[in-house]
Chains A and B, each alone.
Chain A
Amino acid sequence: MKFKGRVWKFGDNIDTDAIIPARYLTTSDPNALAAHCMEDADPKFVKKISVGDIIVAGENFGCGSSREHAPIAIKTAGISCVVAKSFARIFYRNAFNIGLPIFESRDLWDILSDGQEIEVDGDNGSIRMLDSDRGPLSIEPIPPFMQQLVSDGGLMKHIAKKKT
């Protein structure tokens, strides 16, 4: 699992109402949700990003509502992975359940600015800054069960695989 892309930074306690406001929850169509991704945190977000870009956030990313529409919107908008200082727990499990890769790093946020390019290597647990001389940062290891969920393509595929 390697992800290379430009970084978009957000602060602490980005809630799921900011990621996908409730006024858009009258549908669960992933493309319709993706069109409003991060809208109440940054109204221009969807226009700015390219496929493969990376969200880098502060503490408690994804707090609030359990809406799975939040990681679905992020994934469908083309964001390859999210790196945060910490994640709210329902968002954390939703991301793994739907196959959106997420990583925890306490140090990355402070040394980056918007638009910088990084490479997140989920296999060896490191992040490289592609436009600076700085050495790689390590990321918190993902528990083996979560790795399995992501490599199986999410929870439902994992369950189907276990059955057969």
Chain B
Amino acid sequence: MTITEKILHHHTDLKEIHPGMLINARVDIALGNDITAPIAISEFRKAGGLKVFDRDKVVLIPDHFTPNKDIDSAQQCKFMREFAREQGLTHYYDVGEVGIEHALLPEQGIVLPGDLVIGADSHTCTYGALGAFATGVGSTDLAAAMMTGEVWFRVPETMKIVFSGKMKKWVSGKDLILHIIGRIGVDGALYKAMEFTGETIGQLSMADRLTIANMVIEAGAKNGIFIPDNITKAYVAERAKRLYSFYNSDPDAQYADVINIDVSNIELQVAFPHIPSNVRGISQVGNVKIDQVVIGSCTNGRIEDLRVAAGILKKKKAAPYVRLIIVPATQGIYKQALQEGLIEIFIDAHAAVSTPTCGACLGGHMGVLADGEKAVSTTNRNFIGRMGHTGSEVYLASPAIAAASAVLGRIASPEEL
């Protein structure tokens, strides 16, 4: 069996499971945010729900349109906050404590290896980096899980990605996942689990793994997963407040596809508008002038990302007429960046540094684009209108490219500085 099949199996009472089977599975964590939870709460109440199945396992994170961007958002957050308070939820984090959900939950040890996690947010797949089964669902699925503690799944086939070789300078997890999406397409892993293995994994920090797992949804996958190792152990040991399990795939596990990738050939990657699979190596980008740079999000807003950006921005400034927006993904990351002197570097580089929010990534607030504007962003989607006007353009890249681009005013490699 694969690690994905094993984790799903351990969350049922079934004798065996196999790909294609429809199962009901117990969830360890069920997550919602200020956009998706209001519908889930309404559905929960409409169906006669009084108490959630377990107040330690239902997690509500108001991170999208917060701090409240307008009156309607304020109403949605209030509705969610009142529910969290009424239910006595252990894991509810409001403005001042809140972080971007998929950075906050691993950081706080709320999600752990071996867990089965659902979230009414498509980037819930991020937690696969820890060796958990984690997948995005809709609000009604969340409502059902809040009520019953279970959710229905079709057991996915698994696609195995085998990384080999050593990564070039500046190349990061973001470049690896963009490369894969460019290669297999936005539905290349549709309905499947993506399991990341191979000798290169040992070189990947937890931050890189979280970035890779975060974007498997952009290849259509149900979940992305890494086999837990010493790096996982070091990451969770200081965070976990409950028991967790490490699973591994069996040597005779069945895979629907196996893709071998020699990472030593991969250069820095950029996804051009308007689809994440429209990927080019940095050497093929040409002269693309930009208006805005966003460094942050559940994909690339961790301390490691900010360190890379600060290393490039130190003693430099954003180019004239380029707006640089930097969003540490959690309060913990913000504080650490402050202590390490990164925030000072950013401010001296003329960056606007923001409290954690998903705002800019989905064109909500804190950096919406106008007609004809172009942005380099370390986020995960570049669909038409994703960050603002339908006439704007989003180029997805790593923090290294984003920081170098801010300085040069066009999409650029840090090697050019």
Select B39's contact among A28, A89, A145, A159, beta carbons within 8 Å.
A28
- Decide if B200 is an interface residue (CB 8 Å cutoff): no
* Beta-carbon nearest neighbor of A21 in chain B: B385
Q: Chain B 48-75, CB within 8 Å of chain A: the 1/0 string?
A: 1000000000000000110001101100
Q: How far is the CB of B228 from chain A (nearest CB, A)?
A: 25
- Decide if B120 is an interface residue (CB 8 Å cutoff): yes
- Decide if B268 is an interface residue (CB 8 Å cutoff): no
**Are B186 and A63 closer than 8 Å at their CB atoms?**
yes
- Chain A residues near B69: list those with CB within 8 A: 26
For B, the interface residue count at a CB cutoff of 8 angstroms equals 50
Instruction: Mark the stretch among B139-147, B203-211, B298-306 that contacts chain A.
Output: B139-147
**Given A13-B186, A22-B363, A160:B48 Cβ within 8 A:** yes
- Chain B residues near A112: list those with CB within 8 A: none
A69 to B33, CA, bound (A): 14
A145 to B22, CA, bound (A): 8
- Chain B residues near A157: list those with CB within 8 A: 47
- Chain B residues near A93: list those with CB within 8 A: 137-138, 141, 152
A89 to B386, CA, bound (A): 20
For A, the interface residue count at a CB cutoff of 8 angstroms equals 39
A93 to B191, CA, bound (A): 11
Select A21's contact among B65, B222, B363, beta carbons within 8 Å.
B363
A160 to B44, CA, bound (A): 11
**Are B187 and A59 closer than 8 Å at their CB atoms?**
yes
* Beta-carbon nearest neighbor of B140 in chain A: A97
Kindly identify, within residues 39 to 73 of chain A, every residue whose CB is under 8 Å from any CB belonging to chain B: 40-41, 59-60, 63-69, 72
- Decide if A25 is an interface residue (CB 8 Å cutoff): yes
**Are B187 and A60 closer than 8 Å at their CB atoms?**
yes
- Chain A residues near B92: list those with CB within 8 A: none
- Decide if B248 is an interface residue (CB 8 Å cutoff): no
Kindly identify, within residues 54 to 103 of chain A, every residue whose CB is under 8 Å from any CB belonging to chain B: 59-60, 63-69, 72, 86, 88-90, 93-94, 97-98
**Would you give 23 A-B contacts (Cβ < 8 Å), ordered by A?**
A13-B186, A15-B381, A26-B70, A28-B42, A40-B384, A40-B390, A41-B384, A60-B190, A64-B217, A64-B381, A66-B36, A66-B121, A66-B124, A68-B39, A68-B138, A88-B187, A93-B152, A94-B138, A97-B140, A97-B141, A154-B140, A156-B46, A159-B47
Residues of B within 8 A of A (CB): 22, 35-36, 38-39, 42-43, 46-48, 64-65, 69-70, 72-73, 76, 119-122, 124, 136-141, 143-144, 147-148, 152, 186-187, 190-191, 217, 220, 222, 275, 362-364, 381, 383-386, 390
Enumerate the 8 nearest inter-chain pairs by beta-carbon distance, A residue then B residue, closest first. A26-B72, A94-B138, A68-B138, A97-B140, A22-B362, A60-B187, A66-B122, A68-B139
